Amino acid sequence: MGMILIDGRTIGPHLSGIGRYTLNLLAGLDAAHAQSPLQGGRVRVWMQPQVLQSPAVPDAIKRSGALDLIEYPDAPQRFSSMARGHRELRRLGVELVHCPDVFVPWRTSCRRVVTVHDVIPLVCRGQLKKSRKQKFRIVWRAWMKRQARRAIRSGGGIITVSEYSKQDIHRHLNVPLNHLHVIYNTPAPHVDPDGSNHDPEALARLGIHGPFILNVGRRDPYKNVDGLVRAFAAVRNRFADVPRGLQLVIVGQPDPRYPEAEREADRLGLGDAVVFADYVDDAVLGQLYGQATLLAMPSLYEGFGLPAVEAMRAGTPVVAGSVASLPEVVGDAALLFDAHRPDALAEAIHKVLVDHELQKILSERGLARADSFTLEGFGRAHLGLYERLLGKPDASA
C-alpha cells in the first residue's frame, strides 16, 4: 500500500464533531494495527504542534505503531495551508491524502479522500439563519461540489457517515452514488462509562444531585434543544409518577448565536432542574453516559447521531426523533418519536422514565446495537477503502 496521510489538524483542545471523528479514526487505525499490522508502513498524520503536545491526543495514539504524527502548523481552513499543502505532500511522497473536513490542499497530484458528514446548510435552511454557512450557502454549495469533483477526478472519493447522508449528498451536491462510500462512526474509546479514572464528585460539581435525562451536542436550532427543555418542563408538570428530583443535563459548548434553550429554562422557571454543563472532558462525559436515566436526542436532522451510539454502549436507554439518519443508526434499540410533534417527545421521555421493563429492553438492545460500531471495524473500513482506491490503475481512474 502506498503512503497515506491523514489531515489531523481538525483535532483541537476542545473536540468538535469533526475533531472527534478524526481522533476516533486515528484510534481505529491503531486498533486495527494491534490486531493485524498494517501493510506498507505507518500512516502519516498532520497535527497542529500545540495539540500534539497536549492531553487532547491520548498517549496510546502518540505511541501507536500504526501512526507517524507530524507537526504541521497551518490550520487546515487557511487559504495559505490549502495553497502550500501540495508541496509538503509531494515532499513526503504521499499517494493518498484523507481530509476529514472539506479543506483540501490545492493542486495536489495524489488521490484525495474527503469526508462529508452532512449537508445541513442545504437541508436545514430555515433553522440556521445565524450560521455563516447558511448566509453563504450558495458559495458553500459551490465549494463542496468543487471539492467533491476534485476528489473524484484524482482517483479518490467521498466518505460519508450514513446511507441517509449519502442520499442527501447525492441529491444536493450531484455526487455520483458510486463515488460515495458509507463508513459508520464509532464511539470514542476515551469516553468510557466504566472507566477507572472516574471522579465520584464530578457530577456533584456540575450541579447534578439526582436522576437525570442527558442531552449531548451543539445548540443549533435543528438540534431542538429548546424543544427538549419545554418537553422536560411538560414531563415534570403533567406526570406525577416521574422520579423525584429529576434533572435535565445539557452537555455542549454554548453558542451565543443560539441562546434559546437557556431562555426557555429561565422562562419556565426550571432553575437548577436544568444543568447546562457546557464542555466536559471525556472522563466526565463517560460518567454522564453511564449514570443517565436516558439520553434524549430531539434533533430535527442528524447526519449520523454519535451520542446515541455512545449512550447505547453505556447501556443507557435512548429516546430519538424518527428523522434523517437516526432510525438507520439506532435500529430497534431506541424509542423513536415524531420529532415534529412537541408533545411526542414529552410522552416518549415519560414512557421510558416510568416503564422499567422498557428501560431494560432498550438497554439490552442498545448494548447489542453498539457492538455493530467497533473501533477496529471503523479503522479497517477506512484502510480497506484506501487500499481499493490506491489499487486503481492511475489517478484519473
pLDDT at 27: 94
Superfamily grouping for domain 4-186+374-390 = Glycogen Phosphorylase B; (3.40.50.2000)
pLDDT at 395: 45
Mean pLDDT, the chain cut into blocks of 10 residues (397 residues total): 87 82 94 80 89 85 92 64 74 92 76 92 64 63 85 93 97 95 90 69 94 94 95 96 96 90 97 94 91 96 95 97 97 96 95 98 97 95 94 55
What is the number of residues in the chain? 397
Superfamily grouping for domain 202-370 = Glycogen Phosphorylase B; (3.40.50.2000)
Whole-model pTM above 0.85? yes
pLDDT at 34: 85
Ordered strands of the 294-297 beta sheet: 274-278, 247-251, 212-216, 294-297, 318-321, 335-337
Tell me the per-residue pLDDT of 234-267, one tens digit each, with 9 for 90 and over: 999 999 999 999 999 999 988 888 899 999 999 9
pLDDT at 137: 67
Domain range annotation of the chain:
4-186+374-390, 202-370
pLDDT at 393: 54
Domains 4-186+374-390 and 202-370 share a fold: yes
